[in-house]
Amino acid sequence: MITLKLNGQDHPLDVTEDMPLLWAIRDVAGYNGTKFGCGMGLCGACTIHIDGLPVRSCITPIGSVAGQNVTTIDNLHADPIGQIVQQAWLDTAVAQCGFCQGGQIMSATALLKTNPNPSDEQIEEAMVGNICRCGTYNRIKTAIRQASTHLKEAKA
């Protein structure tokens, strides 16, 4: 039995320590917002936060996150910066098929938490490895810039 601190709640899960965190989140805990993409940590669809940092859940064993806070896209509405990023995504109509967008939003939120005013280069660096098969990269960057502007205005 492993207790996972997931989306602000303790979840006792009857899984092995080497089970990929993605499958524990989706199949055992029942949070299905995090998507399976490549299974090798290359596409970013499965990105979650572990103690606020973006991590690929498909290659992270559940046993390695003991005692850490795991947040998925399913609970990002409870995060003020996550709310701003999600609204920017809607305002700029980023999504086409939408499959990768949970991971994109999680990576963008992690960036803005550590750097609320990123340059274009910093945005590109933070989003490396998040693949969008529809090619919405320009809209993603626009949404991140919009969220950054909103954060600056909120502080003023």
pLDDT at 133: 92
Number of domains present in the structure of the chain: 2
pLDDT at 10: 97
CA dihedral of residues 77, 81, 84, 87 (deg, nearest 10): -40
Distance of CA 108 to the CA centre of its chain: 7
pLDDT at 102: 96
Looking at residue 131, which CATH number applies to its domain?
A: 1.10.150.120
Amino acid at 117: N
pLDDT at 154: 82
Q: Are residues 102 and 51 in the same domain?
A: no
Q: Are residues 66 and 118 in the same domain?
A: no
pLDDT at 49 over 80: yes
User: 137: domain range?
Assistant: 79-154
Half-sphere exposure of 108 (CA within 13 A, CB side): 31
Q: Are residues 22 and 70 in the same domain?
A: yes
pLDDT per residue over 63-116, tens digit each? 999 999 999 999 999 999 999 999 999 999 999 888 999 999 999 999 999 999
- When the pLDDT of each residue in the chain is averaged and rounded to a whole number, the result is 96
Query: What are the structure tokens assigned to 3, written together?
Result: 């207790």
pLDDT at 29 over 90: yes
What is the rounded average pLDDT of the residues 109-134? 96
pLDDT at 7: 97
Q: Are residues 84 and 120 in the same domain?
A: yes
**What is the percent of the chain with per-residue pLDDT over 70, rounded to a whole number?**
99
pLDDT at 156: 64
pLDDT at 17 over 80: yes
Distances from the Cα of 107 to the Cαs of 28, 99, 156, in angstroms?
Answer: 24, 14, 25
Query: What are the structure tokens assigned to 32, written together?
Result: 């299905």
pLDDT class of 155 with cuts at 50, 70, 90:
confident
Looking at residue 42, which CATH number applies to its domain?
A: 3.10.20.30
